[in-house]
């Protein structure tokens, strides 16, 4: 068992700027819920406002999928 852990042990302790930001994000945005589960806020590289207006496209795709599933109840 010791051999396994020595092989699996990470030798690179140098984190990139992005990895450090990810670690920091998890430290600041993780909380344990009453159910015992953990909740972590999704990390966004930029502002959520830059995602655009994809609501109509998403609704149309959802409607198409819904219709297909209604035609194939075994799915």
pTM (2 d.p.): 0.43
3-state secondary structure at position 27: helix
CA 17 to chain centre: 19
Mean local confidence (pLDDT), 42-68: 83
User: pLDDT, tens digit, for every residue of 17-43?
Assistant: 988 988 899 999 999 999 999 999 987
Helix (H) or strand (E) holding 38: strand 38-40
Strands 38-40 and 30-32: antiparallel
């Amino acid at each position: 068992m010791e051999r396994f852990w020595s092989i699996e042990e990470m030798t690179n302790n140098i984190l990139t700027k992005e990895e450090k930001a990810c670690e920091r994000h998890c430290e600041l945005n993780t909380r344990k819920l009453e159910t015992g589960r953990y909740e972590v806020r999704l990390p966004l590289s930029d502002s959520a406002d830059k995602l655009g207006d994809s609501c109509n496209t998403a609704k149309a795709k959802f409607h198409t999928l819904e219709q297909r599933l209604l035609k194939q109840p075994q799915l």
